[in-house]
Structure 1
Amino acid sequence: MRAQPHAVAHEVLADHGVVGCAFGHRMLLVRRGSPSVAIGREIRCRCAGPKTKPIARTLRHTGGTMKTGTLDRIDQCILAELQADAGLQNQTLAERVNLSPSACLKRVQRLRRAGVIREEVAILDAARVGFPVLVISRVSLRSTTREAIGAFERKVHALPQVLQCHCVAGETDFVLVICARSLPDYQAFAQEQLGDALELENYSSDIVLSTTKFTTRLPLDST
């Protein structure tokens, strides 16, 4: 995932009184106030490259806020780095995406305010903290009125064992992902918290035997 040279240069040089003119994938630097005098060096942006694909989704930066629009290449680079390691120090992140620390911090703050970055959390190994059992439960409600669906969602939201709840189209109404300390623990949970407790028509449970892939990273550079 690579950023356009002119976009990178604008951020990199904004705090240094320097403007840039792009020629292909190289940048000629000149200081403000002396447009005819070149500094005498060129920079190559880590995010720049001849095979860069256009990004359809972006967010436009306007002042201190972000309006829904498209994510530019620098945003894509920042998000890719933070998806891999949300604990990166701003200085390190800025170096990786070729921005000044202040410009990088402003972009991250905008992405947070816009809701693009929803949370920054630690992903735990479930088995190592005592929850080796993962269950996928398919649920059908007795009633699918707005009130019944709302009541179900509120009850599920209050159950810490339910890691995910998805309203789906098909033979069932919801799919739940549930963690448990053991199979007996899940059986007790199902008897006490599912069924009549949630006014279900029926539900089925699939026990996960092994996980081939688990990731929270979105493929930002695949479009």
Structure 2
Amino acid sequence: MSRISGSSLELDGFDVAILAILQRDNRTPQRKIAEAIHLSAPAVQRRIHRLEASGIITANVALLDPAKIGQPLTIVVNVDLEREHSALIDEAKKAFLAETSVQQCYYVAGETDFVLILNVPSMADYEALTRKLFFASDNIKRFRTFVVMDRVKTGTSLSLDGVPGSTTQSRPNK
């Protein structure tokens, strides 16, 4: 067993196998998970509860198709701040967090300060959003817009490559 990403929880091959299955479909019945990894259903249930309690599993959510809910336009925006004082950074984070069109927000190191992933119904809606989020702020220096042409890969699953027990050829160790 080894520690994963600074976690205080030790993950073994069974845990990694459970996580891999849940990342593909978190509605997989525990009995099917148990059959797939050769554990009992109660043991799988205990492990899932432990993974949730430790914070490794942070949520069970439904991923929506933006086009089918009237927000077919995905836009990636790089945002540069005028001034990078902690209070101003927190103010920007708060504004981005409050906006429902912002699906993801990353405060990043490098040539830009924030990377936003937005879903909007139309370019007109995006233009209105730019006025609200960017032009109305005295601390937005500039923003760069990238319109997504094709959603090649989306989702929130993490790679378990290199995690002890994550090989698909062998059965997890007990």
TM-score of the superposed pair, with normalisation by structure 1: 0.67
User: When you count strand as a share of all residues, which structure comes out higher?
Assistant: 1
CA root-mean-square deviation: 1.9
Spell out the pairing of 1:102-113 with structure 2 (5 A cutoff).
Answer: 102-113=42-53
Structure 1 runs not aligned, ≥5 long = 1-54, 60-66
Q: Cα offset for 1:196?
A: 2.4
Contact 1:138 1:203 in 2 (8 A): yes
Residue type of the partner of 1:215?
G
Residue by residue over 1:151-188, the C-alpha shift from the partner in whole angstroms, topping out at 9 and shown as x without a partner, is 11111111111011111122211111111001111111
- CA drift at 1:192: 1.9
What's 1:199 paired with? 139
2:30 corresponds to 1:99: no
Distance 1:143 1:58, change over 3 A: closer
Query: 1:175 aligned to 2:115?
Result: yes
In the TM superposition, what are the counterparts of 1:26-45 in structure 2 within 5 Å?
none
- For these two proteins, the number of residue pairs brought into alignment is 162
Q: Which residue of 2 aligns with 1:124?
A: 64
2:13 aligned residue (69, 73, 77) = 73
Unaligned residue ranges in structure 2 (runs of 5+): 164-174
Q: Contact 2:73 / 2:119 at 8 angstroms: preserved in 1?
A: yes
Matches within 5 A, 1:1-223: 57-58=3-4, 68-197=8-137, 199-223=139-163
Give the number of the structure with larger relative contact order, counting CA–CA contacts within 8 Å between residues 6 or more apart.
2
Q: Is the 8 A contact 1:152 1:198 kept in 2?
A: no
Name the larger-Rg structure.
Answer: 1
- 8 Å contact kept, 1:162–1:176: yes
